[in-house]
Amino acid sequence: MVHSAMVENPLMLGLPEEKRPEPFAMVIFGAHGDLCKRKLLPAIYALYVQNLLPENFAILGQSRTEKTDQKFRDDMKEAVIKYSEDLEFDQASWDRFAPSLYYRAGDSKNLESYKEMKATLAELEKQHGTMGNHIFYLSTPPSLYMPIITKLAESGLAIARKKNEPAWPRVVVEKPFGHDLASSLELDATLHDVLSEPQIYRIDHYLGKETVQNIMCFRFANSIFEPIWNREFVDHIQITSAETIGVEDRGAYYEEAGALRDMIQNHLMQLVALVAMEPPISLDPEATRDERVKVLNAIRPFSADTIDDFSVRGQYGEGYVLGDKAARYRDEKNVSPESTRETYAALKLYIDNWRWAGVPIYLRSGKRLAKRLTEIAIQFRKPPKMLFKQLGGSIYHNTPASESPNVLVMKIQPDDGISLKFATKQPGPTTQIRSLTMDFRYGTAFGSRTPPAYERLILDALIGDPSLYARSDFYEASWKLYQPLIEHWEKSVPGKSTGKGYLVAHRPFPNYESGSWGPQESDEMLSIEGHTWREL
């Protein structure tokens, strides 16, 4: 654990002076909610104790719940102590930080609340020297996004800036960014009616994770990997996001979202884009975001006659997870006993461009699975068998290593790192080949803390760097890709044939046990191509 009073100076951490944030006031809508307590305030406090915030700043919490400034400060102190991942709480640092925290109760749909907010922000500008630089963080249910944006405009708190003007104020929008293509476009239109694109920050916390940020560096800063990062050498790619927990107290949300909207349409598509993108012409935010969008636009669309060959959905039943009895999804709080909402989704994608033509990319995400992890696995083609085939299976260690492909794994959680599996000769008088793995882990390699995703993303929003945020055309491309699948799943009932008699739509829910690796159809989808899911 790092003691918060002893964290290194930011200049020693590589943050140039010109990239330090300007004075600001941040308004957190939904400040009484879990996201603010668990992620936002701990991240802002961590930035403060690392001297990564400007001298002049203020945080204004807003929600419907009545409380005083002092009560808000006490609640946030409790949250920081409880949820800070690796910073030991320091009372002296908190005593300096807390006077910059304020709270006002208000109704996000009532214009009067915004007039009061505007007056409060004017006071904070005088008190804290925030220079009128405002950032509005929408930590609310998605149904409030458009009312908040509209009222910010009506009150004069949100004004679009021209191209050469400083991009203040800024608005940070949490996921989900829409529920489908139509709602995403509507939200985007509302935002652009009020703000210019450089003022809009669509947050996806996966992009703030250290291993995810390292994908570009790993690919483009090392000459040994990029030449083999293509269809000539890569057999297929697997991206897995597995959770052991169920929906917990988010049953109502999950009934609306499901695994496809909750994880794949946003988080996993960001990973696909980073793994498959072409080298950008520079590290300029727009150059990197251009290349990510190109990947999504090149993904082969789902077609009506093959959609069940390329997608699998599942829902967890009873079972045991890490030794504990787990209830089925339909028995969770706020979940319909006849629910057809998926808690597991697996997909097979093809990117129809020169680099990736013919290389399948498999995605899977699910709840109540056997293990918690998120990883990207690049499986390379097997070497020719000519040289070692005469050795025979009896002298190999277990599975013949010459038959076992090289696999590069980028581990995103819980243990950030990169591993490479390769074949080597086992010591001894005979030629016995076995597979070994070289492991790199952030926690042990650098001897310093790995900042949580929200720290990096909030700092970038304060600096005005949108590199790790999604642009509007990214979400539009992602929703366009998945809209046919969403519509197909909405109109087809698990357990009832659609005429093909194949795969997921035809086995009733629940179709996988809690504590397993998902439905059998998911394995079948890969076996058709001669592939299997990695053993995790």
CA distance 235 to 291: 22
Average pLDDT per block of 10 residues along the chain, 536 residues long? 49 55 95 92 94 95 94 95 84 94 94 95 96 95 92 92 84 90 94 92 87 87 92 97 91 91 93 95 90 96 90 95 93 93 96 97 97 95 69 45 76 87 77 78 72 90 91 94 93 67 62 94 93 90
Give the per-residue pLDDT at 405.
83
Instruction: Return the closest-CA partner of residue 268 out of 175, 142, 359, 407.
Output: 175
CA distance 516 to 244: 10
What does DSSP assign to residue 497?
Answer: -
Helix, strand, coil content of the chain in percent (nearest 5): 40, 20, 40
Provide the CATH number for the domain formed by 2-202 in this structure.
3.40.50.720
Give the per-residue pLDDT at 242.
96
3-state SS, 479-493, equals: HHHHHHHHHHHHHCC
135 burial (CB, 10 Å; 0-12 / 13-18 / 19+) is: buried
Q: Please answer whether residues 390 and 402 qualify as being in contact, where contact means their C-beta atoms are separated by less than 8 angstroms.
A: no
Domain ranges of the chain: 2-202, 208-384+470-527
Strand runs labelled E in 381-523 = 407-413, 417-426, 432-441, 512-514
Give the per-residue pLDDT at 15.
55
State both tokens at 313: 């959905």
CA distance 169 to 461: 11
Q: For the chain, what is the total number of helices (H) and then of strands (E)?
A: 16, 19
Instruction: Return the closest-CA partner of residue 439 out of 414, 412, 410, 413.
Output: 410
* Pairing of β 407-413 and β 417-426: antiparallel
Give the per-residue pLDDT at 397.
43
* End-to-end Cα, the chain, rounded Å: 29
CA distance 34 to 289: 30
Q: Please answer whether residues 364 and 243 qualify as being in contact, where contact means their C-beta atoms are separated by less than 8 angstroms.
A: no
Give the per-residue pLDDT at 398.
47
State both tokens at 443: 């926690």
Sign of CA dihedral 288, 291, 293, 295: negative
Instruction: Return the closest-CA partner of residue 406 out of 432, 436, 385, 431.
Output: 436
Give the per-residue pLDDT at 150.
95
Average pLDDT score over the chain: 88
Structure-token match 């009545």, residue found: 66
Task: Tell me how far CA of residue 361 lies from CA of 73, 237, 314, 351, 467, in angstroms.
Answer: 47, 5, 19, 8, 24
Close Cβ partners of 141 (under 8 Å, ≥ 6 residues apart): 30
Instruction: Return the closest-CA partner of residue 2 out of 65, 45, 62.
Output: 45
CA distance 252 to 187: 22
Give the DSSP H or E segment for 193. helix 181-194
Strand runs labelled E in 108-213 = 134-138, 170-173, 200-202
Tens of pLDDT along 136-150?
A: 999 998 889 999 999
Choosing from 192, 267, 488, 506, the catalytic residue is: 267
State both tokens at 262: 């909750």
Per CATH, domain 208-384+470-527 is 1.10.287.70: no
Instruction: Return the closest-CA partner of residue 313 out of 503, 185, 528.
Output: 503
Close Cβ partners of 243 (under 8 Å, ≥ 6 residues apart): 366, 367, 368, 369, 372
Q: Please answer whether residues 20 and 10 qualify as being in contact, where contact means their C-beta atoms are separated by less than 8 angstroms.
A: yes
- Say whether 267 is catalytic: yes
Give the per-residue pLDDT at 436.
78
State both tokens at 293: 């969008």
pTM greater than 0.85 (yes/no): yes
Instruction: Return the closest-CA partner of residue 368 out of 199, 243, 240, 526.
Output: 243
